[in-house]
Structure 1
């Protein structure tokens, strides 16, 4: 154990159990394994999530906020060589831990949403203009990452890797830049070769995107930057919210957001309130932009009011003559979110939904694929942007609390069937990623991998499941609890 964060008796159990943050960094070698880890697995499973350092205010704390903590397990030769968890040392996180601030630039919010590998780097990512951070293979923070100076203004939590070109596609947004979002393409060397401003309505939260062989899909949906909420979060007196927000709204986008004011705001928001909320007046629409098109070339398709955090996949629909006639998008649909409880997605109803955006008629159609509560959808990412058959998702508790349960859902988009598999009563399943057995393996020939929590014993493990049958292959028993977080990936050696 290397670092214990400062704590106080007033630090709340935010949601209790598997969601409660840990305050210790742990390193453990030669982990105990049940079953047999496939010999062909050689790499690291890494996952990021919010884990506040020290005390936070339960009245304002939002589940999406909190200092980023990356957890990782190294697999090689049928062994689990190590487990590590490390806070991402943003400037504020380093200060909270009493450490020197690593080389950093940009807005110091918590990089707490995902962790990916690209251009030989391990990157902790967040959205809304926050700084990306590069990590070592052992998950120590090196410093901020700006894609070799080509994307200094923050990035996204959900870039999409094109398996053919090796390029990373992203839709990024910032609260202080209303009216447009940024589409970027990063080459395999880690430099942006293309950056395009795409017009949108207001200042929407855009957590994910769709990618096809010829297009990107922009999610312009009704969660918007809430200026009054942000002002409360950074300590503006209530009597000043009304007049202050009118002045500030006129300045946003005209006055640079950097400097001490932005740093102070980011610091106050780091482990607290999220300055975005449901805005029913905001349109619900999906934009289709040609990959090499100008921002103004985006075509908007109106859809029924909803919100989508996560896209399962997307692809171009082609007719007999080879012409693209429609774009198909599959994602997890919320009727609304952050309405009754604005500290998290509790109370929301989800379902896997398909939108078909007809490029000939200009109309969108919507179909429910599976109406069970679910989240964290993933496909075989060798098929990113291409037609796919299988999709995987984590079941959510049917009581509408927004918490994960013991189910794994495997969707067959060709047959239209869904298989539900339970890991056992009391087990809570996090996001699972698919790892193919070999580069040319069949679409579900490989393993699903992710952290799970056993509510009966309080123990956590890295679960490996056969992707075809959903039966257990191996369980890596972890020496520490892994709080439920957000997104993980398999980074091959």
Structure 2
């Protein structure tokens, strides 16, 4: 029997969420027609949305959101009103007057925005529907039911990050905009516990104190003239001391890395946050982490931990001012190197990069930031068709960027790079990544079907030329592969296997694929009927094992028919299900994890 030490705090998703039921959707073979909505918008037609499945599923609230069994529900609306009163009571008359005026302007702006259909990339009814919807925090639940047997080597804590908005969106919202929430399963001697907690970012803390969202949402709101207006409102609140943006505005919802005895939660718009796992398996935010004052800029969500040296390598990008891109590293003891400026002409979307034994591989691709597009009424995230994608190769211990070598890779956009290694006999760097088309489909509305092709990119350091090919050559076996990893003990070295999410039907994940990177052979593990998951995590059984695939795959899986979630543990060599841990509450689809 599972036992709960205390009861989950409920959120707006239980008491306030208002979404159209499935009856309010006219469903055709390739389109969805939204017939009515609470804001009296025009009808919204979604044609084969890249950001939503062909049929949106809005389960009933009773099955969608779990309620503590004794029905003791703490309503944040009341809590937030109290905390809001406490916060605003400290304001002087000028601040109170400014707050009222700015709130009135924001209300008028929101009303104006909702008079027009939102693009599906910013419509919360699309972005956070079904199991993409948020959940309340869940304190530790011990002794979870287990089917099968948890392998002996699975000892420790599996943690996964995700976007989980605390407050109901009032206007535009992209899935990536949600507040960070970490889900943790702790394994001890064949038993498992579960907890999930918000990462208490400075943004979240201030919004909780005010009782509502006030920080602008980077993707869902910051586009066009209304985006400029929201930025002006935000900084006006800062000038009057109503909010403090000097301590960061990030959501820490994307990546996780365990480095130098600290678990760090990250998104590329801020510094990392230190999250502590307690002995009981609960989670506690220790605070914004600047490596003892050494890190003074943002850090991307995918730093690379070298399995041999124990060093951490990272990038930082700026969308406003030069230098637009910087590279740095940390020793295994947490000592930061000097920043190395990477010369790029425009601010570039830099979600991921790669390392080899001796080099860092830095993509400079066609998705760029152009803030001037907001003045023209568009999105600042732009697909620049005139730009030629390229990869930069730099010595890992370079003190400056003078020896950086660029190799062009035309028409290539990899949101994620899974690994890279050196092949000295041919003077090549081999990069493994998923090439995505259209490149900006995640951020901007697009009718073209998304493809994510696992690819081998070879960068010849002698000739300066590149080649690119699909690793899975049989077109009948080609599937969208996104989110995953290689054996972390082989990162930066030649690897035979990659374990990647089968992102079909997009944006859901129906299973994972084990791909032989040398032969292109693909083996698939499907989670089950009406079951979908996310990123597969490969956990080595023994770091000294001679077999690269000797280990287990861990993945959160949600049953959309029964509306229950579980953690599946799969033998990576045989692809046989070893154990299933039944979870006490729903786990939304999310982003990246670690163990």
TM range (shorter): 0.7 to 0.9
Which whole-Å CA distance do the structure 1 matches of 2:137 and 2:287 have between them? 21
User: Structure 2 matches for 1:175-186, cutoff 5 A?
Assistant: 175-178=319-322, 180-186=324-330
Task: Name 1:252's counterpart in structure 2.
Answer: none
Is contact 1:437–1:446 with CA below 8 Å preserved after alignment?
Answer: yes
- Among 259, 262, 274, the alignment partner of 1:121 is 262
Is contact 2:354–2:362 with CA below 8 Å preserved after alignment?
Answer: yes
Task: Name 2:200's counterpart in structure 1.
Answer: 89
Is contact 2:420–2:432 with CA below 8 Å preserved after alignment?
Answer: yes
Is contact 1:53–1:96 with CA below 8 Å preserved after alignment?
Answer: no
Task: Name 1:381's counterpart in structure 2.
Answer: 488
2:431 aligned with 1:329: yes
C-alpha displacement of 1:93: 0.9
**2:410 partner SS:** coil
Is contact 2:452–2:482 with CA below 8 Å preserved after alignment?
Answer: yes
2:214 aligned with 1:214: no
Distance 1:9 1:125, change over 3 A: closer
Is contact 1:70–1:115 with CA below 8 Å preserved after alignment?
Answer: no
Which whole-Å CA distance do the structure 1 matches of 2:300 and 2:429 have between them? 22
- Among 411, 422, 426, the alignment partner of 2:526 is 422
2:197 aligned with 1:53: no
Which whole-Å CA distance do the structure 2 matches of 1:204 and 1:144 have between them? 25
Which whole-Å CA distance do the structure 2 matches of 1:190 and 1:274 have between them? 37
2:129 aligned with 1:42: no
Distance 1:274 1:47, change over 3 A: farther
Deviations 1:423-459 (A, max 9, x none): 2221112101111111212211110112111122111
TM-score, normalised by the number of residues in structure 2: 0.70
C-alpha displacement of 1:316: 0.5
Which whole-Å CA distance do the structure 2 matches of 1:274 and 1:94 have between them? 28
2:294 aligned with 1:190: no
Distance 1:444 1:9, change over 3 A: closer
Which whole-Å CA distance do the structure 1 matches of 2:584 and 2:446 have between them? 29
2:471 aligned with 1:366: no
Q: What stretches of structure 2 of length at least 5 have no aligned partner?
A: 1-6, 20-123, 212-243, 473-477
- Among 344, 355, 360, the alignment partner of 2:457 is 355
**1:295 partner SS:** coil
Q: What stretches of structure 1 of length at least 5 have no aligned partner?
A: 232-240, 246-272
Task: Name 1:342's counterpart in structure 2.
Answer: 444
Is contact 2:248–2:271 with CA below 8 Å preserved after alignment?
Answer: yes
Q: Which structure is higher in strand share?
A: 1
Task: Name 1:481's counterpart in structure 2.
Answer: 586
Task: Name 1:250's counterpart in structure 2.
Answer: none
Which whole-Å CA distance do the structure 2 matches of 1:151 and 1:346 have between them? 40
Deviations 1:219-260 (A, max 9, x none): 11111123146x5xxxxxxxxx35xx9xxxxxxxxxxxxxxx
Q: CA RMSD in A?
A: 2.5
Which one has the largest radius of gyration?
Answer: 2
2:418 aligned with 1:312: yes
Task: Name 1:437's counterpart in structure 2.
Answer: 541
2:515 aligned with 1:411: yes
C-alpha displacement of 1:22: 1.3
Count residues with an aligned counterpart. Answer: 440
Which whole-Å CA distance do the structure 2 matches of 1:344 and 1:66 have between them? 22
Is contact 1:108–1:131 with CA below 8 Å preserved after alignment?
Answer: no
**1:4 partner SS:** coil
2:62 aligned with 1:62: no
Q: Which structure is higher in helix share?
A: 2
TM-score, normalised by the number of residues in structure 1: 0.84
C-alpha displacement of 1:341: 6.5
C-alpha displacement of 1:106: 4.0
Distance 1:120 1:94, change over 3 A: same
Which whole-Å CA distance do the structure 1 matches of 2:139 and 2:585 have between them? 7
Which whole-Å CA distance do the structure 2 matches of 1:330 and 1:454 have between them? 31
